[in-house]
Structure 1
């Protein structure tokens, strides 16, 4: 289990790295959008490439950030139902969800998207808009994003199994495990009985 937890830590570090990277993509999209608007209004200049790069950056933020969002436990949950269940039951539901739904979906999307990326790269597919951009980089975001989400799903699966075996902190309460010392302390405190 220790080896798997180390693997989980490496995957979490990769997700955090992408989380920090996509912040800069948001800034880049904002600057490009503002610059494009100023150029259009003030100088009557415009470019479809500037519009398309904004879409590409938005797609990158959304797709490349999915794994980081999972790490931070920021995906939508049905808390009204989940709050009534025991923590053990919630862990089992997450494990089944990851194994039965999330990992197969990630595999399907990568398998489905890769031939499209490859075909666009080989053909040099371009946007149909005048002055538009090449298409394969934005297509490549789909398999890349789902690969990152699938990796984080493996990490979350390991953490949930470790919690059920008493070898790790509760991954649902810690929101991303940024502070490992706090995570270990929380786990230790939760296993000590309150004095009567």
Structure 2
């Protein structure tokens, strides 16, 4: 059981680290978008590559932090039944949700995006816009990263359910305990 807790900590640590790093792209998005607007309206000029840049940063950020959002329980959920449920009931709901919905979804995303990403790498795809950025193939690779990171966090959730249902909630890492608020989760993951 301690091995399960160690695996949960490892997966959650990876998503926590990547989430904290890639969430800084939000600042970059704002700065680049602000620069594009100022250049366009104050100086009557624009650069296509800059317009590509803030869109690409947005795509990279949201795909890279998806596992982090799942770790923090920041995703959308209908809490009518889940919120008042006991920890054991939550563990059952999470286990079913991960096995029936989350892992198949991430497999489908991975399976169907892999040829798309491979083709983009095959000819080093760039922006379709004249004067746009090179390296679109790198951005498309974030789709695979999204599927992997979310699937890994789903595995961590499933393992948490195993610990809770096995009566070993004491082994659940603080960042993954039920009943914690999102801000507490971030603090516990540090």
Normalised by the length of structure 1, the TM-score is: 0.84
Runs of 4+ in structure 1 over 4 Å off: none
| Max Rg structure | 1
Once residues 178 and 160 of structure 1 are traced to their aligned partners in structure 2, the CA distance between those partners, rounded to angstroms, is: 22
Q: How does 1:96-111 map to 2 (within 5 A)?
A: 96-111=96-111
Q: Which residue of 1 aligns with 2:42?
A: 42
Structure 2 residue runs without a partner (length 5+): none
Q: How does 1:1-196 map to 2 (within 5 A)?
A: 1-134=1-134, 135-168=136-169, 169=172, 171-174=177-180, 175=182, 176=185, 178-179=187-188
Once residues 29 and 156 of structure 1 are traced to their aligned partners in structure 2, the CA distance between those partners, rounded to angstroms, is: 31
Q: Per-residue CA shift, 1:156-179, capped at 9, x if unaligned?
A: 111121112121257331243743
Is the alpha carbon distance of 1:177 and 1:2 closer, same or farther for their aligned partners in structure 2, counting shifts above 3 Å?
farther
Q: CA RMSD in A?
A: 1.8
Q: Which residue of 2 aligns with 1:192?
A: none
Q: Per-residue CA shift, 1:100-147, capped at 9, x if unaligned?
A: 211111112112111111111112222221111232122111111111
Q: Secondary structure at the match of 1:172?
A: coil
Query: Shift of the alpha carbon at 1:87?
Result: 3.3
Is the alpha carbon distance of 1:29 and 1:84 closer, same or farther for their aligned partners in structure 2, counting shifts above 3 Å?
closer
Is the alpha carbon distance of 1:179 and 1:127 closer, same or farther for their aligned partners in structure 2, counting shifts above 3 Å?
closer
Q: Per-residue CA shift, 1:44-95, capped at 9, x if unaligned?
A: 2211111111111111121111111111111111111224544322211110
Q: Per-residue CA shift, 1:15-35, capped at 9, x if unaligned?
A: 111121122101111111111
Matched residue pairs, number? 180
Structure 1 residue runs without a partner (length 5+): 181-196
Once residues 83 and 72 of structure 1 are traced to their aligned partners in structure 2, the CA distance between those partners, rounded to angstroms, is: 15
